[in-house]
Structure 1
Amino acid sequence: MKRRTALQASIGVVTALALAACGGGNSDDKSTGNAGPASVTIALSSAPNSLDPAQIAVGPFLNYVDPAYASLLTRKADGSLGAGLADKWGYVGKKNTKFKLHLREGVKFADGTPLTATDVVNSIKYFQKGSGPGGAWFRPLKFSTPDSSTVVITSPTPNPDMGTLFTPAYLGGAIISPAGLKDPKKLASATFGAGPYVYSAKQSVSGDHYVYVPNKNFYDKSAIHFEKITVKVMPNVNSQVQALKSGQIDLMFGTPDVAPTVKGNKAITTLQKPTTWAGLFLLDRDGTVVKGLADVRVRQALNHAIDRAAITKAVYGDYGTPVSQPTMPGYEGYSTEAEKMYPYDPAKAKQLLKAAGYKKLTIPVNYGSFDPVTTKMLQAVQDQLAKVGVTLKLKAAANFGGWINDLVSRKNAATVLSPGTGGDSNFYAQQPAFTKTGIMNVFGVDDPDFNAAYEQLAESDPQSRGAASKDLTDVIVRKALALPVSGTDTIVLYNSELRGVQFPKGTGQLISNTLWTTG
């Protein structure tokens, strides 16, 4: 049970950037569809499980947290780190194990309490104990406070991208005030941050809509662009589209089915970006359940046996990209060489299987039938692998909890994570599945080639990091540790009067709603 709970929480951060939470709400200007200067309304499909940064899911659910909780660092449009509650930051020494943050002067929490280094440490220590998906990355960290405005973070192992942990996407940098930590139960339904807005319980209805109004104690009044931010819960994506067209909402997360319905509508802008890869994680790389998967030739045969372009077109249409690697174009670690390693070649696949001693092979695979799009992708892969003598024995789970149970049972040699994973730097993206202690590496496979490449990336400096990240991808693909099929897009549909709605370079997380403005 303990393993299952930890896995369920940690996998949340693996998939979060892919979760297309959709919904709708009420805008001040319902007649024109324009986002007026007074307010903006965001539609999501699900209500938050909590407003507590240490408990809430990430991905689109960040829209419930971002307004009220400023992060220590931010992500600029060019992908670089930007100032937040901290105005200076960087590594101490050259080992990538110590990172220092200097806090901005004059920052106060919404209740007027000044922000101190001790507050930062206490907040992150609380976050370390939470059940939210980002907590796993923070638990090994240690902290010290040389003075009231400086925090030093120490990692037991090298991390070349420690600053990313303190950006909004990971939530640990969303600092909670002493008042909030004094009575953590209140964090579920109220906000205790230092962000530009505060949650208004009086104007909100839990489970239906969540309203945020300006924080009178925010350190930069010029950064408050709206009199009100509303996040409206609307489970039906078609209802969201109608609300967007009529001007009741200003932004929603789309799907391949509904996105084409707004084409040609000048009042609505479509933004899409490949953020996750969909395919099979080949879990049993030591051959515990399926002996053949321990042979690299078998894993390479699987990669040659599928027509990625055809599957991607059939399943994802204009909102997918064929990929042979566990990352997408435009992200750190993407390798043009790796993308050429496995052209569609069923004859080559059969040759490799024969050389490995297999004419036929059966591989048990678990997946979530609750995700119809990913299920369609898996069925297409199943059909194509059957043509080279490989049978996928599918085990469906009706919900995420069932998928977790099937995964940790160690009865399945491969799995499909719905709706995919990615949208992050290679150091974070590849750790869960391929490091020996990774949360998805349920068989504990220890690959020395992967380890060497991962350690090289962990110890890299800014100048060598790009090459080290690409080398890691090349190792994963050359050894066929996975069976990637498609890079899938996150789709955002929004009122054309909004400005600043974008994906920062190299990330799959939409920029904070506090940074949007109106035309």
Structure 2
Amino acid sequence: MKFRKIVTGISVTAVAALALVGCAPGGSGDGSASADQTLTIGALADITDWDPAQAHVGHALQPYQAPYDTLILREPDGKLSPMLATKWSYDDSLTKLTVDLRDDVTFSDGAKFDADAVVANFTHFQKENGRQAAQLVNLDKAVATDEDTVEVTLKQPDPAFTYFLSQAAGLMGSPKALDGDAIGSDPVGTGPYVMDKKASVAGSQYVFTKRKGYWNPDLQKFGGVTFKILIDVTARTNALVSGQVNATLLDARSASQADGAGFTLTKSQVDWGGLLLLDREGKLAPALGDVRVRQAINYALDRKALVKSLQVGYGTATAQPFGPASGAYDKSLDDAYPYDPAKAKKLLAEAGYADGFTLTVPGIASFEAIYAAVGQQLSEVGITLKADPVPDQEIVNKIAGGSFPAAYFQLFQGEAWVAINQIISTNALYNSFDSMTPELQELIDEVQAAPTAKEGDAAAKKINELVVDQAWFAPLYRLDQLYYTDKTVTVVAQTQMAVPSIYNYAPAGAK
């Protein structure tokens, strides 16, 4: 079984919850608010390398937005807007993208931002093979046709390419700095803030101050931004309540403490959690090779009860892997498998498993309570869930490498094409047994070649319907992301992102 490195869209919030760290003093929470105040954010993970080619997604992308701009800006609702790029357009083949650039931007080291800088960043991003290298997997070449125009040639149509230019692949570092090692600890970009090296401590906090002469001062809503590294949710909760940070992401078990202390909650849904029924040909678990068994697993799950018990009500029961903002979402599929243990038993009997079977999954401490609850429900129809311990750091490799026939995981609900290449296509990290049918492949090809987003979404909806009908997965719920802020700041949620972009924060009372 081959192991792929196409990691775009992995739920980093799920992985970040596996480590621990203490909280550091600092921040402001005294109720005062002004454009000169420092925004202090409780971050979920350390940034071990500030090279833009090593940037990740979701909450791990947020800190990079302080020193770096992206070519394209992703608005809170997901709309793509100009940033360093003023406009962009494809040719009829959808493989040539022309990108026009701003001509009034410089990097923090004084170098000019231009088309050559964009080409240098694309080359560097591909060469460094960072955590989101797959975002430029379809890039064949990029050419500066003049000082402020870049022509990009793709190996094949990529419906998510412009989206990726608002993500890690779109972060622009100074070409002078890209050739050395210093950028790993001292970011050099065109962004609204610059790192204060003396005040920053690796693994503890990263301090940024407002950059003078920044091309878009409207985005500089604070005098500075500090990221305090607080991986443990208890540490984040304590830091928020004690005034050490202004904003941070908590979980369902910590919400009551923040609610009781009067902090403002902003909710959004980014990830879905559920069973990946990976072995659809029955190579490791013969039972999973029968669609009736996979459907029986779905009917055996009381999703609403699981939302209540595991998420304290912070979530939405669902039987589909695509989210509402994906373009592939179909509301009716949320209840495609209503809780019906009698029907589950009937399907198991028809498939030859009236006496049940044992399903082995990778077990880690973070998912212990989930496996216990899901295992109890499955046992009521005769299925025994057996969790074999796996070290936290090996969980992705074990799932993606085909070591287990099924697994519980939490996954990012991104754009339709991103999700397809995360969990469904034969290139997907989480299609570890290369499951595919001619009908499904034809629909995937339709999404890729669709001349408009509307046509692509229509094909993606059919993909969603097909994989739900064939029970490729047994989703449980979409998790609520619980983002809390103190009274000195306001924030707007960022669609498909566990934490807001830094542009979405503002001092309380600011217009």
Q: TM-score of the superposition, structure 1-length normalised?
A: 0.90
Question: 1:343 aligns to what?
Answer: 338
2:483, 2:335 → 1: CA distance? 30
Q: Which runs of 5+ in 1 are unaligned?
A: none
> Contact (CA 8 Å) 1:54, 1:127: kept in 2 or not?
yes
Letter in 1 for 2:494: F
Q: Deviations over 1:153-180 (max 9, x none)?
A: 233232223211011xx31100111111
Q: Where do residues 365-444 of structure 1 align in structure 2 (5 Å cutoff)?
A: 365-371=360-366, 374-401=367-394, 403-407=395-399, 410-417=402-409, 420-444=410-434
Instruction: Check 1:463–1:23 CA distance in 2 against 1; reply closer, same or farther (3 A cut).
Output: farther
Question: Is 2:251 the partner of 1:258?
Answer: no
CA distance in structure 1 between the partners assigned to 2:44 and 2:331 by the alignment: 36
1:513 aligns with 2:502: yes
Q: In structure 2, the residue corresponding to 1:243 is in which secondary structure?
A: helix
For 1:283, the equivalent position in structure 2 comes to 278
State the shift of 1:364 in Å.
Answer: 3.8
The Cα of 1:71 is off from its aligned counterpart by 0.3
- 1:181 lines up with 2:178 in the alignment: yes
Q: Which shows bigger deviation, 18-27 or 318-327? A: 18-27
Which residue in the other structure is 1:219 paired with?
215
Shift of 1:217: 4.1
Distance verdict in 2 for CA 1:320–1:437, change over 3 Å: same
Give the structure 1 partner of residue 347 of structure 2.
352
Distance in 1 separating the partners of 2:175 and 2:392: 38
Alignment partner of 2:482 out of 478, 484, 491: 491
Match of 1:127 among 125, 128, 151: 125
Q: More displaced, 22-31 or 286-295?
A: 22-31
Q: 1:131 deviation in Å?
A: 4.3
Aligned partner (choices 191, 195, 198) of residue 195 of structure 1 = 191
- 1:62 CA displacement: 2.1
Q: Verify: 1:54 aligned to 2:47, yes or no.
A: no
Contact 1:24 1:249 in 2 (8 A): no
Contact 2:316 2:478 survives alignment (8 Å): yes
Is there any run of 5+ residues in structure 2 with no aligned partner, and where? Answer: none
Change (3 A) 1:100 1:251: same
Q: Contact between 1:20 and 1:490, CA under 8 Å: does it hold in 2?
A: no
| DSSP 3-state at the match of 2:313 | helix
- Counterpart of 1:464? 455
- State whether residues 328 and 416 of structure 2, in contact with CA within 8 Å, keep that contact through their aligned partners in structure 1: yes
SS at match of 1:463: helix
| 1:319 equivalent in structure 2 | 314
Q: Report the AA paired with residue 46 of structure 2.
A: A
Q: Indicate conservation of the 8 Å contact 1:116/1:149, yes or no.
A: yes
Deviations 1:402-451 (A, max 9, x none): x245335634211222xx00231121013222212222222222222321
Tell me which amino acid in the other structure corresponds to 1:209: Q
CA separation of 1:216 and 1:31: change in aligned 2, threshold 3 A = closer
Which segment drifts farther, 474-483 or 456-465?
A: 456-465
**Matching residue of 1:96:** 94
> Does the 8 A contact of 1:363 with 1:391 survive in 2?
yes
Find the counterpart in structure 1 of residue 113 from structure 2.
115
**Paired residues of 2:356 and 2:381 also in contact (CA < 8 A):** no
Q: How many residues align?
A: 503
Q: Is the contact made by 2:40 and 2:227 (CA closer than 8 Å) also made in structure 1?
A: yes
* Aligned residue among 444, 448, 460 for 1:454: 444
What is the Cα-based RMSD across aligned positions, in Å? 2.4
Q: Report the secondary structure of 1:416's partner residue.
A: strand
The structure-2 alpha-carbon separation of the partners of 1:453 and 1:441, relative to structure 1 and needing over 3 Å to count, comes to same
Residues 1:473 and 2:470 are matched in the alignment: no
Deviation at 1:279, TM superposition (A): 0.9
> How far apart are 1:35 and its partner, in Å?
7.1
Q: Which amino acid aligns with 2:374?
A: V
Structure 2 Cα separation of the partners of residues 18 and 35 of structure 1:
34
One-letter code aligned to 2:479: T
Cα deviation, 1:52-83, whole Å, max 9, x if unaligned, reads 22224432222321100100001112321011
Aligned partner letter, 1:407: I
Partner of 2:163: 164
- Give 3-state SS (helix, strand or coil) of 1:487's partner: strand
SS at match of 1:379: helix
Judging changes above 3 Å, is the alpha-carbon distance between structure 1 residues 173 and 346 closer, same or farther for their aligned structure 2 residues? same
The answer (yes or no) to whether the contact 1:33–1:247 under 8 Å persists in 2 is: no
Answer with 70-79 or 438-447: which moved more: 438-447
CA-to-partner distance for each residue in 1:432-484, whole Å, 9 max, x for gaps? 22212222222222222321222222222123233233222111101111111
- Distance in 2 separating the partners of 1:351 and 1:249: 54
- Percent identity for Structure 1 against Structure 2: 29
Aligned partners of 1:224 and 1:413: how far apart in 2? 49
Task: Please give the per-residue CA displacement for 1:322-359, whole angstroms capped at 9, x wherever unaligned.
Answer: 11010334443221232232111111112222222222
Question: Could you tell me the TM-score, scaled by structure 2's length?
Answer: 0.91
| Per-residue deviation, residues 70-111 of structure 1 (Å, max 9, x unmatched) | 000011123210111101013222x43332211112111111
| Matches of 1:242 and 1:220, distance apart in 2 | 35
Q: Is 1:138 the equivalent of 2:131?
A: no
Q: Distance in 2 between the 1:110 and 1:431 partners?
A: 36
Among candidates 292, 297, 302, match of residue 287 of structure 2: 292
1:204/1:149 Cα in 2 relative to 1: closer, same or farther (>3 Å)? same
Distance 1:226 1:379, change over 3 A: same
Deviation per CA, 1:129-154: give whole Å up to 9, x if none.
33432111212312233222122223
Counterpart CA distance in 2 for 1:132 and 1:33 is 40
Question: What code does the residue aligned with 1:49 have?
Answer: T
